[in-house]
Amino acid sequence: MPEQSPDSGEEIVRTLVADEQRHDLPADEPSLLIAAVEAGPEIAHNRRRRKGLGIGAWLAIIWISLLLFSAIFQPLLVSTGVIPDPEAQELPEISGTGEALVVAQPPSLGHLMGLNPRGEDILSLVIEGSRRSLVIGFVSVFLGFMVGGFLGLLAGYFKGRTGGFIGSLLDILLAFPQLILALFVVEVLGHTVTNVTFALAIVSTPVLARIARASSLSWSEREFVVAARAQGAKHRRVLWREVLPNTLPAMLSIALLGVAVVIVAEAGLALLGAGVAPDLVTWGNIIQTGVPELKDSPHIVLAPSIVIFLTVLALNYLGDVVRARFDVREAAL
């Protein structure tokens, strides 16, 4: 390092550098999870790339397609009798004394995920619930992506006052514990699917914005961006044509992970008794109804939990594959 006089300007520059590095660190639960998923096995990925997608990615794609298919065609599946009607209740057997026997049944061939105490088939409840849970997951991340991605893009490109202002805005939103903020919004607006989606979109906005900001920041310093500016391109054009297309692949990967986080958050809200109204079936609500029956019929809780686990796993895996495919640093190796 050349010898320079330690003036305060240099001090500020140095602290700013530290600031940027610090701000790339995940400071909240969701982005921490995302960072951990993205901290992939550097060496294993290179090998996988040569062989195409790999079996794991295909399994993940098959699982997600299966979910989407059954969610979209649920009415058709019910009317053709492939799965039982979620509303239909298997009538309880009446014992000699006239008392209804317990109808919660463990999984069997007739009912792959068993029955709940009301005699409803859990598999068809899970499929009906997936319609709401997946919509909540995808739509709220889409909304958070639009608003947060835009804010992050701007904050990373215009580092000065605009960046600082957006940064403070995000700090304010992140100061509230995420799940509590969502609980707040749902409690005030009402327990509908739309409001839960909206609440989780608000919560995911600052998280996605921070990640977009880091990505936009690193691309904005590249030579081709500087060159475009030097040629007299307008900010809007540089942002739209140079920075945005480069940040998109990474952001797409983050969005997939975000959907997984939101699906878990929906279930978390339901477990607090603060999600979508209990008479509407979602994955979280099915689990919530099973909690009092933990001891005698654990399958009510376990079946939807396993479905959530597999979905999150598939989304995480796909997110990781997308990141590895587009990661320029790794591709250059």
Provide the binding-site residues for another protein, judged by CB under 8 A: 1, 4, 6, 8, 10-12, 14-19, 21-22, 25-29, 32-33, 35-37, 39-44, 164, 168, 171-172, 174-180, 183-184, 187-188, 260, 264, 267-268, 271-274, 287, 291, 294-295, 298, 301-302, 305, 308-309, 312-313, 316-317, 320
Residue found by looking up tokens 């691309």 in the block:
219
What's the closest the beta carbon of residue 240 comes to another protein, in angstroms? 30
Amino acid, single-letter form, for residue 10 = E
Q: What is the distance between the alpha carbons of residues 202 and 301, in angstroms, rounded to a whole number?
A: 28
Q: Choose between 143 and 300: whose C-beta lies nearer to another protein.
A: 300
What's the closest the beta carbon of residue 207 comes to another protein, in angstroms? 11
Q: Choose between 78 and 274: whose C-beta lies nearer to another protein.
A: 274
Q: What is the distance between the alpha carbons of residues 177 and 181, in angstroms, rounded to a whole number?
A: 6
What's the closest the beta carbon of residue 315 comes to another protein, in angstroms? 8
Residue 115 bridge partners (DSSP): 121
What's the closest the beta carbon of residue 191 comes to another protein, in angstroms? 11
CA nearest to 132, candidates 238, 283, 249: 283
DSSP state of 296: T
Q: Compute the CA torsion angle 76, 82, 83, 85 (nearest 10 deg).
A: 60
Q: Choose between 193 and 267: whose C-beta lies nearer to another protein.
A: 267
What's the closest the beta carbon of residue 89 comes to another protein, in angstroms? 25
Q: What is the distance between the alpha carbons of residues 72 and 262, in angstroms, rounded to a whole number?
A: 20
Q: Choose between 74 and 205: whose C-beta lies nearer to another protein.
A: 205
What's the closest the beta carbon of residue 75 comes to another protein, in angstroms? 29
What's the closest the beta carbon of residue 61 comes to another protein, in angstroms? 16
HEC secondary structure over 71-103? HHCHHHHHHCCCCCCCCCCCCCCECCCCCECCC
Q: Choose between 128 and 266: whose C-beta lies nearer to another protein.
A: 266
State the maximum Cα–Cα separation within the chain, in Å, rounded to a whole number: 96
Q: Choose between 119 and 268: whose C-beta lies nearer to another protein.
A: 268
Q: Choose between 248 and 310: whose C-beta lies nearer to another protein.
A: 310
Total Cβ atoms within 10 A of residue 74: 18
Q: How many residues does the chain have?
A: 333
Answer yes or no: are the C-beta atoms of 331 and 258 closer than 8 Å: no
What's the closest the beta carbon of residue 28 comes to another protein, in angstroms? 5
**Six-digit token pair at 168?**
């403070």
DSSP state of 238: I
Q: Choose between 67 and 264: whose C-beta lies nearer to another protein.
A: 264
CA 252 to chain centroid, in Å, comes to 11
Answer yes or no: are the C-beta atoms of 128 and 189 closer than 8 Å: no
Q: What is the distance between the alpha carbons of residues 44 and 33, in angstroms, rounded to a whole number?
A: 20
